[in-house]
Amino acid sequence: MRDTYVHVVGGGLAGSEIALQLASRGIHVVLHEMRPMEVTKVHTSAMFAELVCSNSLKSNDLSNAEGLLKEELRMLGSKLLQIAEKCAVPAGKSLAVDRKRFSEMVSEALWNENRIIIRRELIEQIPLEDNTLWVIATGPVTHRRFAGWLQKLTGGFLHFFDAVSPIIYADSIDMQKVYVADRYGKGSGDYLNCPMNEEEYEIFWKELVNAETVEVHDFDKGLLFERCQPIEEIARSGKDALRYGPLKPVGLLDPRTGKEPYAVVQLRKENREGTLYSLVGFQTRLRWKEQKRIIRLIPGLEKAEIARYGVIHKNVYIEANRVLDDFLRLRKHKKLFFAGQVAGFEGYVSAIATGLFVAFNIYRSLSGQDMTSFPRETMLGSLVNAVVHHEGTLKPMYANFGLLPPLALRGSRLEKRLEMSKRALSAIKEFLDSEGKAWQTFRSRSALTS
Ligand SMILES: Cc1cc2nc3c(=O)[nH]c(=O)nc-3n(C[C@H](O)[C@H](O)[C@H](O)COP(=O)(O)OP(=O)(O)OC[C@H]3O[C@@H](n4cnc5c(N)ncnc54)[C@H](O)[C@@H]3O)c2cc1C
C-alpha cells in the first residue's frame, strides 16, 4: 500500500474524513480542493470541512436517528466526530460546534498528516484509463464544469434547492428582551429566546409572507428540500405554520412570566466566545435588505446586525440508485467511488458517515480483502442501502428510523426507537468483533491519531 495513492476530490466533510481515515491506515492520499481559487456561493473560507449553514450536527440522543448515526460513528472511530466533540459549544442535547474552530482543527489534522498531499486545484475531469482509485466528494456545490463531466459519465444529474440561516452579532441583541431557556428545561441554558405576543407574531408573519425574495434561476418550489424549507415558504403555507414549526413556543417558559409566549424565535450560539448567534430554523431566500428589515421585527432583535446573510442554493447529486453499487462505486468504473452529498446523502453527519464507509472499503480492498456492507440493523448500513437500492427518483436521504428493519415490539414510539438503537449498536459491536484484527487496528489507530 506504500506506493498506492488514493485521490479524493473535495475537502469537505466527506472528503476530509476519507483522507484522515486512509492516511491513518498508512495509505497515501492526494486531496484535491478547489477553494480558495474557485469560490462557491455557500463556503466563506479556504478551510477544509466548512459547515455551510447551521453549526449543529444535531441531536446526541439515541431516540433520534442522527443521534444513533453519531453513536455508530463514535464506535467506528470517526475522525471528524472526534474533532467536533473537541470544539463543541453548549447546545442542550445536540452536538453543535464552534464552526471556525472545527474547520481549523480538521485543516490542521490534514496539514499535519504527512501521508496526505493537498492540491489546491479545480478538478474538471478524471482520467479513467489508469488504475488509480478516485473518490468524488464534491458535495452539493460541485463545480459546474466538473458537474458537466459527471453528468455525461453517469448519464444524468438531479438537483434540489435549500437555504442557509442568517447569523447575527451577539452585542446587537437586546438582552433585556430575550430570555435564556432550553425546550422543556432540558439542557444547560444554551439558547436565547425572543418571545412574541400574538400581535407581534401577526405583524411579523404578514411582513414575512410579503417580503421580497431573490429570484433564483430554475427555482421550483417542488424541489425545495423538505428539511431545509426557507422560513418564508413555511410562513406562506398558513398563518400558524411558523408557530407549529421553527417558532414553536412549546416547552420554552419565559421565566419572567412563567408562561409560554405566543411564538418564539430561538438563537443558538455560533462560537465558544458567544459573539455570534444563528437564528434557528430561519433559512431564507429573502433579499438581504429584507432580511435585515424582517429580523428587526423580532423582539430583542430591533437593532440586530447581520454577520452573515441567509442564501439559497442549488444542490446537485448523481442518481446514485441507478449508477452506484453497494460500496458506493460507480458500477461501470469500479475505481471511482462517491461519498457525501453528491452521492445523494443529505446532511453533515451523513457526509461524514459515508466518507468513513468509503474509506473502510477502500482500505479493505487495498489490503486484499473483499469489500463489505454494514449490517442492515445499523443506521449507516441502512442509509447506504436506502440510497443505492432506492426505487424511482432519488431524493437526498438522511438518517431516520424508517430505514431500519422493523422490530416486533409493543410499546411507545420512543421505546421502539430506543430498542432499535440498542439493536444497531450491538450489531456494530458484533460487526467490529467479526471484522477481526484489521478493522480493530483501523479503529485503534484512528483513536490514537486523534
Ligand atoms: C445551502 C446549504 C445549506 C446546508 N445546510 C445544512 C445544515 O444546516 N445542516 C446539515 O446537516 N446539512 C446542511 N447542508 C447539507 C450538506 O450535507 C452539507 O452541505 C455537507 O457539507 C455536505 O458535505 P460534503 O462533504 O458532501 O460536501 P462539502 O462539505 O460541500 O464539500 C465539498 C468540497 O468539494 C469542493 N469541490 C467542489 N467541486 C470541486 C472540484 N471540481 N474540484 C475540487 N474541489 C471541488 C468544494 O469546494 C468543497 O470544499 C446544506 C447544504 C447547502 C448547500
Q: Which atom of ligand 1 is nearest to the CA of 42?
A: 1
Query: Tens digit of pLDDT for each residue in 291-332?
Result: 999 999 999 999 999 888 887 777 889 999 999 999 999 999
Which pLDDT does position 443 carry in this prediction? 55
Residue range 45-103, pLDDT digits in tens: 999 999 988 899 999 999 999 999 999 999 999 999 999 999 999 888 899 999 999 99
For residue 341, which of 398, 402, 284, 282 has the smallest C-alpha distance? Answer: 398
| Angle ∠(415,417,422) on CA atoms, nearest 5 | 95
Q: How many domains does the chain have?
A: 2
Q: Do residues 173 and 69 share a domain?
A: no
CATH number at residue 48: 3.50.50.60
How high is the pLDDT of residue 226? 61
| Amino acid 86: pLDDT | 97
Residue 255: is its pLDDT beyond 70? yes
Percentage above 90 pLDDT, the chain: 70
Q: What average pLDDT does range 211-236 have in this prediction?
A: 75
Q: Is the pLDDT confidence value at 446 over 50?
A: no
Whether 114 and 77 share a structural domain: yes
Q: Are residues 303 and 325 in the same domain?
A: no
Instruction: Give strand pairing partners of 162.
Output: 313
193 & 300 share domain: yes
Q: Among 286, 310, 334, which residue terminates a domain?
A: 310
Q: Say how many Å lie between the CA of residue 141 and the centre of ligand 1.
A: 6
- What atom in ligand 1 is closest to the CA of residue 140? 53
Shared-domain flag, residues 230 and 138: no
Residue 273: CATH number of its domain:
2.40.30
CA-nearest residue for atom 27, ligand 1, is: 139
CA of 12 to the centre of ligand 1 (A): 6
Q: Please tell me the distance from the alpha carbon of residue 21 to that of residue 54, in angstroms, as a whole number.
A: 25
Which of 310, 339, 372 marks a domain boundary? 310
Atom of ligand 1 nearest to the CA of 51: 21
Candidate from 17, 53, 219, 398 with most ligand 1 atoms within 8 A of CB, to mutate: 53
Ligand 1 pocket mutation pick from 48, 58, 80, 348 by most atoms within 8 angstroms of CB: 348
Q: Are residues 322 and 237 part of one domain?
A: no
| Final residue before a domain boundary, out of 310, 336, 356 | 310
- Please indicate whether residue 351 or residue 228 has the higher confidence score (pLDDT): 351
Q: Which domain holds residue 277?
A: 167-310
Q: How confident is the model at residue 183 (pLDDT cuts 50, 70, 90)?
A: confident
Three-state SS string over the chain comes to CCCCEEEEECCCHHHHHHHHHHHHCCCEEEEECCCCCCCCCCCCCCCCCCCCCCCEEEECCCCCHHHHHHHHHHHHCCHHHHHHHHCEECCCCEEEECHHHHHHHHHHHHHHCCCEEEECCCCCCCCCCCCCEEEECCCCCCCHHHHHHHHHHHCCCEEEEEECCCEEEHHHCCCCCCEECCHHHCCCCCEEEEEECHHHHHHHHHHHHHCCECCCCCCCHHHECHHHCCHHHHHHCCCCCCCCCCCCCCCCCECCCCECCCEEEEEEECCCCCCEEEECCCCCCECHHHHHHHHCCCCCCCCCCEEECCCEEEEEECCHHHHECCCCEECCEEEEEECCHHHCECCHHHHHHHHHHHHHHHHHHHCCCCCCCCCCCCHHHHHHHHHHCCCCCCCCECCCHHHCCCCCCCCCHHHHHHHHHHHHHHHHHHHHHHHCHHHHHHHHHHHHCC
- Assess whether 376 and 279 both reside in one domain: no
Output the average pLDDT for the chain: 90
Q: Are residues 391 and 320 in the same domain?
A: yes
Instruction: State the pTM of this model.
Output: 0.81
Q: How far apart are alpha carbons 54 and 165 in whole angstroms?
A: 7
Same domain, 189 and 64: no
Same domain, yes or no: 324 and 346: yes
Pocket around ligand 1 at a 6 A CB cut-off: 9-15, 32-35, 40, 42-43, 52-54, 122-123, 137-143, 146, 162, 164, 228, 313, 315, 340-342, 346-348, 351
Give the model confidence (pLDDT) of 28-61 as tens digits.
999 999 999 998 878 889 999 999 888 999 999 9
Residues 377 and 438 in one domain: yes
* pLDDT tens-digit map of 369-412: 899 999 999 999 999 999 999 988 888 888 989 899 988 888 88
How do strand 276-279 and strand 167-169 relate by DSSP bridges?
antiparallel
- 49 CA distance to ligand 1 middle (Å): 8
**What is the number of the ligand 1 atom nearest to the C-alpha of 14?**
25
The answer on 153 and 12 residing in a single domain is: yes
Name the residue of 160, 228, 311, 400 whose CB sits within 8 Å of the most ligand 1 atoms, as the mutation to test its pocket: 228
| Å from CA of 349 to ligand 1 middle | 12
